[in-house]
């Protein structure tokens, strides 16, 4: 089957795509695909491989040969799943490839906030330590995470990994409950409705997919429920947080700090209200929590497995 990858460059240059080539046979690589190029490139494809390239219903309707979309990610909000289902196009994502990388990044952000690392680093660079009257600087609050409460929204593979690390640091863990979910998780972690969880947490960490139902899940109302010393960490999707409300909360001192690896538009070509802030308790990283070399190569290997299994008829995991 002819297999075309539309955005190979988004996966980095320090990994090999050979597993995809071996699985697909007839393999065509494009590093980038502008929106107006997508239909032309996919009209002869049986299998499309995409990371963040958007495949709308209108695009899928013009690709009559397309049988499978292999998403080199976990999230599939860039794919019109309803149209794919109607056209019998199998959509397959990849999970459990980036747990170690993302958990590590989440705690890098959490520890940086807890230790006020940006503020202390800034003071060292500007020479305040050189001119200090004491042997050390301790102008900014340093929070011990041991004994503090972590709230997790989204308790899949990544949420479990973050919970495991938090417990190793001596933190208490609570999980957000939605709908008719039980009061405890499968590992016994307490579940609480979001409005009950938020006032209790010292750190809130987001690990859920973005859907229409949870867009702006954390807005002004939710931020107001949190302790003014609490931290918000988002390594999931930018649209989960009302960025304007978060900026206001930080500026008004209503939140202890925030760290996000994601924004509502990526790359932020039109700017972003959070990028306009110059605050030591706001950390922004460029959607790189998933991007260790090991995780990205694992992602390619698992995508190749999905394609191979689709071709030989043994594919079991799929979104649609």
pLDDT of 80-113, one tens digit each? 999 999 999 999 999 889 999 999 999 999 999 9
The confidence score (pLDDT) of residue 181 equals 86
pLDDT at residue 42 is higher than 90: yes
Would you kindly state where each structural domain of the chain is located, as residue ranges?
Answer: 2-97+293-311, 99-284
The confidence score (pLDDT) of residue 285 equals 98
The confidence score (pLDDT) of residue 198 equals 98
Q: Using 50, 70 and 90 to split pLDDT, how confident is the model at 320?
A: low
Domain at 99-284, CATH from 3.40.50.720, 3.40.50.2000, 2.40.37.20, 3.40.640.10: 3.40.50.720
pLDDT at residue 319 is higher than 70: no
The confidence score (pLDDT) of residue 317 equals 59
Averaged pLDDT, 140-145: 96
pLDDT in tens, 57-82: 999 999 999 999 999 998 888 999 99
Q: Using 50, 70 and 90 to split pLDDT, how confident is the model at 179?
A: confident
pLDDT at residue 180 is higher than 90: no
Output the average pLDDT for the chain.
95
* Other beta carbons within 10 Å of 292: 16
Rounded to whole angstroms, the Cα distance separating 90 from 70 reads: 8
CA separation, residue 160 to residues 103, 111, 199 (Å): 9, 18, 22
Alpha helices in the chain (DSSP H): 18-24, 35-42, 57-61, 81-86, 99-114, 117-125, 157-168, 194-197, 220-225, 243-251, 293-311
- Tell me what percent of the residues of the chain surpass a pLDDT of 90: 91
pLDDT at residue 318 is higher than 60: no
pLDDT in tens, 250-295: 999 999 999 999 999 999 999 999 999 999 999 999 999 999 999 9
Catalytic residues: 237, 266, 287
- Lowest-confidence pick of 35-49, 179-193, 238-252, 259-273: 179-193
pLDDT in tens, 120-138: 999 999 999 999 999 999 9
- When comparing pLDDT for 319 and 133, which is higher? 133
pLDDT in tens, 191-206: 999 999 999 999 999 9
Helix, strand, coil percentages, rounded to 5, for the chain: 35, 15, 50
- CATH architecture designation of domain 2-97+293-311: 3-Layer(aba) Sandwich (3.40)
Give yes or no on whether 2-97+293-311 and 99-284 have one common fold. Answer: yes
Name the 3-class secondary structure at 97. coil
Cβ 54 vs Cβ 78: under 8 Å: yes
């Amino acid at each position: 089957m002819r297999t075309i990858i539309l955005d190979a460059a988004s996966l980095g240059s320090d990994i090999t795509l050979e597993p995809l080539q071996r699985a697909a046979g007839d393999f065509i690589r494009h590093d980038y695909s502008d929106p107006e190029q997508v239909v032309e490139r996919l009209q002869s494809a049986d299998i499309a491989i995409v990371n963040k390239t958007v495949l709308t219903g209108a695009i899928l309707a013009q690709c009559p040969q397309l049988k499978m979309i292999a998403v080199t990610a976990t999230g599939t909000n860039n794919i019109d799943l309803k149209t794919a289902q109607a056209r019998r196009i199998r959509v397959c994502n990849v999970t459990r490839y980036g747990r170690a990388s993302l958990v590590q990044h989440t705690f890098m952000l959490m520890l940086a906030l807890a230790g006020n690392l940006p503020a202390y680093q800034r003071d060292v660079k500007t020479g305040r330590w050189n001119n200090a009257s004491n042997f050390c600087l301790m102008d900014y609050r340093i929070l011990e995470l041991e004994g503090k409460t972590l709230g997790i929204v989204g308790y899949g593979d990544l949420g479990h990994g973050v919970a495991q690390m938090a417990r190793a640091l001596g933190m208490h863990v609570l999980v957000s409950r939605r709908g008719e979910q039980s009061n405890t998780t499968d590992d016994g972690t307490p579940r609480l409705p979001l409005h009950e969880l938020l006032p209790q947490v010292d750190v809130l960490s987001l690990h859920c997919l973005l859907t229409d139902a949870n867009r702006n899940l954390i807005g002004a109302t939710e931020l107001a429920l949190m302790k003014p010393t609490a931290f918000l960490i988002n390594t999931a999707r930018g649209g989960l947080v009302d960025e304007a409300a978060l900026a206001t909360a930080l500026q008004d001192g209503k939140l202890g700090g925030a760290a996000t690896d994601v924004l509502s538009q990526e790359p932020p070509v039109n700017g972003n209200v959070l990028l306009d802030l110059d605050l030591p308790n706001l950390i922004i990283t460029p959607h790189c929590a998933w991007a260790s070399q090991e995780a990205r190569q694992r992602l390619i290997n698992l995508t190749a497995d999905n394609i191979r299994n689709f071709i030989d008829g043994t594919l079991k995991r799929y979104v649609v």
